Amino acid sequence: MRHRPTAAALVCVLALSAACGTDETTNQTPAASQTTATEPAVPSESAKPEESETPSEEPEPEPEPEGTVIEMTLADGTVTPAGDRVQAETGEPITFVIDADAGGELHVHSTPESFIDFKAGTSEHEIVVDQPGVVEVELHEPALVVVQLEVR
């Protein structure tokens, strides 16, 4: 599909993201949020303004992930898991531990939808889904469904 910018949606989303103070690498939506952590080279501008400005110091140690943890590997265009059902709970964190040989993007078909951008290497990303339902998490390029989250 051709992508063309359109005014209204963009203005809304841009205004929203500006208001939320999201950084350049995350998308924030009311129902799903995402954090990128444990990536060795976190760009300094992604640190949130309200955090203490000590870019040399690592952020607080990543706590043991609670809720649902999904370990995903992407190698040579092959992804595992590839379409498994995973149980999750509304409002609880769902953590993706991604080990990838190339950067990419996960499309979370929740309502509203959200995205996870990941880089090559190991990274951890957390989303929260508030609306119950079956949510497909799909990799773009190659277009493959990684998991179907059964969020109750």
Partner 1 sequence: MLSLTGRLPDPAGDRSVLAHGIGGARDLPISPELAIAGAVAALIVSFTVLTLAWRSPRYDAATTGRPAPRALAAAVDAPAFAVVLRVVGMALFLFTAWTAVFGEDLLINPFFGMFYVLLWVGIVPASLLFGPVWRAISPVRTLNRLLGLVTGSDPGQGLLTYPVRLGYWPAAIGLFAFVWLELVFPQSTELGPVRLWCAAYVAVMLVGGALFGDDFYEHADPFEVYSTLVGKLSAWGRRDGVLVVRSPLANLDTVVARPGLVAVVAVLFGSTAYDSFQDSSVWLRFTQAHLDQARLLDNVALLTFCVGVGAIFAVGCATSGVEASQCRWALPDLFAHSVVPIIVGYIVAHYLSYFVEVGQQTLILMSDPMSQGSNLLGTADLEVNYWLSYHPTFLATSKVVAVVLGHVLGVVAAHDRALRLLPRQHQMTGQLPLLVAMVAFTVGGLYLLFAS
Q: Residues interacting with partner 1, by CB under 8 A?
A: 1-11, 13-14, 17, 24, 27, 29, 82-85, 105, 108-115, 117, 129, 131-136, 142, 144-145, 148, 150-152
CB of 36 to partner 1, least distance (A): 13
CB of 96 to partner 1, least distance (A): 17
Print the SS3 string covering 89-144. Answer: CCCCEEEEEEEECCCEEEEECCCCCEEEEECCEEEEEEEECCCCEEEEEEECCCCE
> Which lies closer to partner 1 via its Cβ, residue 47 or residue 144?
144
CB of 127 to partner 1, least distance (A): 13
Sheet containing strand 68-75, strands side by side = 36-37, 121-128, 93-100, 68-75, 78-80
> Which lies closer to partner 1 via its Cβ, residue 4 or residue 56?
4
What dihedral angle (degrees, nearest 10) is formed by the CA atoms of 128, 129, 130, 136?
Answer: 180
CB of 109 to partner 1, least distance (A): 3
Residue type, 76: D
Q: Are 118 and 104 in contact (CB under 8 A)?
A: yes
> Which lies closer to partner 1 via its Cβ, residue 73 or residue 148?
148
> Which lies closer to partner 1 via its Cβ, residue 58 or residue 84?
84
At 68 the three-state DSSP class reads: strand
